[in-house]
Amino acid sequence: MIIATAGHVDHGKTLLIKALTGVDTDRLPEEKKRGLTIDLGFAYHDLGDGKSTGFIDVPGHERFVKTMIAGAVGIDAVLFIVAADDGPMPQTEEHLAILELLGIEKGVVALTKIDRVSEERVAEVKGQCVSLFETTCLKGLPVIPVSVPENIGVEKLRIELLGLRHISSLKKADNNFRMAIDRSFTLKGAGQVVTGTIFDGRVEVDDVLNHIPSGGELRVRSLRANNEDVGLAIAGQRAALNLVSSKKVAASMNRGDWVVSSAANFVVKRLDVRIQVLANEGKPLANRTPVHLHLGAADVTGRVITFDRVGIAPGNNSFAQLILDEPIHAIRGDRFVLRDQAASRTFAGGVVVEVFAKPYRAKYRDQRIAQLDAVSATTIEAALQSLVHISPHGVDLSEFAKANNHTLENLLKITKAISSLHVVAREPPLVFSAEQITELRERLIQAMKKAHKAGLNKTGLSDSMIKKEFDGNISLELIRSLLESAVGDNLIERVEGLFRLKTFKAKRSRTDELLWQRVEPLITVKDFKVPVVHELQSSLNIDMKLLKSFLLRSAKDGYIVQISERRYFTTDAVEKLKQLVIKMCQDESLNEFTVADFRSYCGIGRNAVVEILEYFDRVGFTRREGSSRKILKKKNSS
């Protein structure tokens, strides 16, 4: 668990951390001299449950709010400190606003310096704290009166903090690794070291990572988590990474940068966001307002584009776009704080909604808001389903995974578990709803029918021919994906690189038509006991070479199906045989079956059964496992 302090300057944050942990977090000479925290300080201590709790001591002076924000991101809870003699002060209110904008909901209020005031004053300030927190997400925090010099309340405070562990934030240990750098320095004998809070994922010794914004490659030589040497650190922990990199990359590492896995190695200059304007603002947040964006430990400048081009009223929230002056790393769901152009006042904050934002156009406002509403759903499953519902051309699963910092492998598993979604296998994968796939496939069938009609003498259709007949604006790439998916689900067939409907039959020559009239009665038999090629040749009394050429040509043109070199069936017979296999497994309650099982059920000769089942294996209807076979179920991907 990671706890950060918050509160006005000189209200006793550092002294209280020392009383709880035994660690003086003022490490800089200037901090010692001036008696105030300038940079972030860190302490780790077992509060009594055998686990290490991390404390981040942040500065309270107004000039160091930027540093305070860098320390507050990614924490589990806050230790909010108010001095009983001063009571709530300006920085108390700003720190509270920042914590609310960052979504911090758990913590404890320590009412310090009670030894300097009367009991009446303690009660008065305690009431002020309750009132101050009443309208925020930190409503209801326990207020513990404390005096460090007299050791009053410190033990009670420790117990309250320990009780927060079971409600600490859930972190995403299975996602791509991301750590926001809040300190970067060189240690003699070790080299480059960066510290920060791990937002997502996990890291191990010898992992290869990337530095953002340079993109440079890094290797983890050693690491510490919660002040201990470890081989693995995970999301929710504070970590120190000893890194091996080029001198150029090492020299460029600063607070505000990120260390990430390769899958999360990207930056952007536009973000679609939901902005919450503080209620005590005197005027609306106007369109194109210049701002300082604080995200992670970074501070970059930019402008706010409000979607209504007017503004966002105090106390309200709305979608907007941030156009940044420098590229920044972010994912969907990251919290941020906005300060004014002079970086002197916090006035708003919010959450990242779309990472790969396109330039905002007012005429597409409704579509943009619908998209942002969709991806704002509380779970990744709900967000994906909502987005698919409003995306007629499908959702790019790779981009969706990247924006949410999921691995594509994990997101594919999530998607395939949702029965209402269908993954079209391509690079990158596209996701549709089952209804969209049904509608698109129907349009595909109609386009193929029109294309077949336009070229009756062709064996099959190219993807471009099908696109030409497709009703509606659709890319050739999507046509190809739909064709591959339909082939995989055995709805259409591919012949020599071309596609055709199962019912398609090419126009015959006069000679072939006459010969077909003689062949068709011989192979169209109800009991599936179709003569093999040499038996056909004997019955027809024609040249074997001529017969084989005709049979291959008829299979190519869609009239019959070649089961083996010596056996052909009509397309209707093949479909009936498939249904017979399915019915057998249902009737006999079989999860798998043998050649003998099918032979006994259908009454066909063993040689024919073997050839039929081997054909079913080749086309993906069944799969052989040793001496048995299983029917391959249709999946929601191909």
CATH code assigned at 624: 1.10.10.10
Angle at 96 between CA 95 and CA 99, to 5 degrees: 85
Decide if 195 is inside a domain: yes
Indicate the SS3 state at residue 561. strand
Whole-angstrom distance, CA of residue 569 vs CA of residue 546 = 18
For the segment 624-638, what is each residue's pLDDT rounded down to a tens digit? 999 999 998 654 443
Question: What is the number of other CB atoms lying within 10 angstroms of the CB of residue 378?
Answer: 7
For the segment 223-254, what is each residue's pLDDT rounded down to a tens digit? 988 778 899 999 888 888 999 988 888 888 88
Q: What is the dihedral of CA 13, 15, 16, 18, to 10 degrees?
A: 120
Question: What is the number of other CB atoms lying within 10 angstroms of the CB of residue 188?
Answer: 5
Q: Is residue 200 located within the same domain as residue 280?
A: no
- Percent of the chain past pLDDT 90, that is, above it, reads 44
Decide if 141 is inside a domain: yes
Taking all residues of the chain, what is their mean pLDDT, rounded to a whole number?
85
Decide if 11 is inside a domain: yes
- Lowest mean pLDDT of 39-48, 267-276, 433-442, 620-629, name the range: 39-48
Higher pLDDT, 509 or 385: 385
Decide if 511 is inside a domain: no
Domain end, chosen from 219, 238, 264, is at 264
Decide if 250 is inside a domain: yes
In the prediction, which pLDDT does 72 show? Answer: 58
Q: HEC string of 261-329? A: CHHHCCCEEEEEEEEEECCCCCCCEECCEEEEEEECCEEEEEEEEECCCCEECCCCEEEEEEEEEEEEC
- Lowest mean pLDDT of 66-70, 407-411, 429-433, name the range: 66-70
Q: Is residue 185 located within the same domain as residue 141?
A: no
In the prediction, which pLDDT does 634 show? Answer: 52
Question: Range of 417's domain?
Answer: 367-429
Q: Is residue 40 located within the same domain as residue 182?
A: no
Whole-angstrom distance, CA of residue 331 vs CA of residue 338 = 17
Q: Is residue 332 located within the same domain as residue 405?
A: no
Q: Is residue 423 located within the same domain as residue 568?
A: no
Q: Is residue 141 located within the same domain as residue 235?
A: no
Q: Is residue 16 located within the same domain as residue 163?
A: yes
Q: Is residue 447 located within the same domain as residue 391?
A: no
Q: Is residue 450 located within the same domain as residue 588?
A: no
Contact 500, 462 (CB under 8 A): no
Decide if 512 is inside a domain: no
How does residue 167 score in pLDDT terms, banded at 50, 70 and 90?
Answer: low
Domain end, chosen from 216, 247, 264, is at 264
Domain end, chosen from 167, 191, 214, is at 167
Q: Is residue 478 located within the same domain as residue 606?
A: no
Decide if 173 is inside a domain: no
Decide if 209 is inside a domain: yes
CATH number at residue 305: 2.40.30.10
Contact 173, 232 (CB under 8 A): no
Number of separate domains in the chain: 6
Mean pLDDT of the 606-626 span: 93
Q: Is residue 379 located within the same domain as residue 359?
A: no
DSSP per position, 446-461: HHHHHHHHHTTT-S-B
For the segment 11-26, what is each residue's pLDDT rounded down to a tens digit? 777 888 888 887 766 4
Q: Is residue 46 located within the same domain as residue 160?
A: yes
For the segment 467-499, what is each residue's pLDDT rounded down to a tens digit? 888 866 778 888 888 888 788 777 888 877 788
0.75 exceeded by pTM: no
